[in-house]
Structure 1
Amino acid sequence: MFIKIKKNCGIQMEHNGLEKRRLVPVTSNFLLNLSQVAEISFYTIKERKTRFDLEGHEFELPLQTRVIHLQMTYLYATYKETINGNKGRLVERQYYKLYFSPENVDTYEELRSLIEEQVSNP
């Protein structure tokens, strides 16, 4: 099943393709295939966290920001054969973190309920 992430809904996103701790606003619609997601976490930020926008300006995430963290399956991973000059293999799975400001709770709840409808909990 696909879920649609809608543009201009106040959602900010972080993923592996960006520098660490960079957030970008979602400015175009895109679909995520839930069958390619291995793990999903829902949490609320309870302590101060600093992030950066695309221009490198620092900003602080508001407390009570809600996050949906989607960890993709191993098919969507990068592999490194050497780590700090040593032989070995590091597998870094792709992820998406969707950030919802405290005043954007309705969009968060809508997306979360769509995801949870796909969960079987016997």
Structure 2
Amino acid sequence: MFIKIKKNSGIQMEHNGLEKGRLVPVTSNFLLNLDQVAEVSFYTIKERKTRLDLEGHELELPLQSRVIHLQMAYLYATYKETINGNKGRLVERQYYKLYFAPENVDTYEELRNLIEAQVGNL
């Protein structure tokens, strides 16, 4: 199943394709294949956190912002053969973190319910 993240829906995003700590608004529609997601976390920001926008300006995330963290399967990973000059293999799976401001809770709940509809609870 695919989920469509719509542009200009008030969602901010962080992922491995950006520099660490960068946060960007979703400015174009894109699809995520839930069949390629290995882990999903839902949480609320309860302490002060800052990120940078694309121009390097500091952004403070509002308290009570909601986050959906999608960790992709190992098929969507990068491999490093040397780590700090030593031989070895580091596997870094791709991830997407979707941030929803407190006033955007309806969009968060809608997306969360779609994801949870694919989960079997025992």
So what's the TM-score if we normalise by structure 1? Answer: 0.99
Q: 1:77-105 CA distances to partner (integer Å, 9 max, x unpaired)?
A: 00000000001100000000000000000
Aligned to 1:36: 36
1:10-89 residue pairs with structure 2 within 5 A? Answer: 10-89=10-89
Q: What is the CA-CA distance between 1:59 and the residue it aligns to?
A: 1.4
Aligned to 2:112: 112
Residue identity in the other structure for 1:21 = G
The CA distance in 1 between the partners of 2:92 and 2:116, in whole Å, is 26
Across the aligned residues of Structure 1 and Structure 2, the Cα RMSD in angstroms comes to 0.5
The CA distance in 2 between the partners of 1:30 and 1:2, in whole Å, is 10
* Residue 90 (str. 1) matches residue 90 (str. 2): yes
Residue identity in the other structure for 2:27 = T
Secondary structure, counterpart of 1:104 in structure 2: helix
Moved over 4 A (4+): none
What 5-or-longer segments of structure 1 have no aligned partner?
Answer: none
The CA distance in 1 between the partners of 2:40 and 2:50, in whole Å, is 23
The CA distance in 2 between the partners of 1:89 and 1:76, in whole Å, is 15
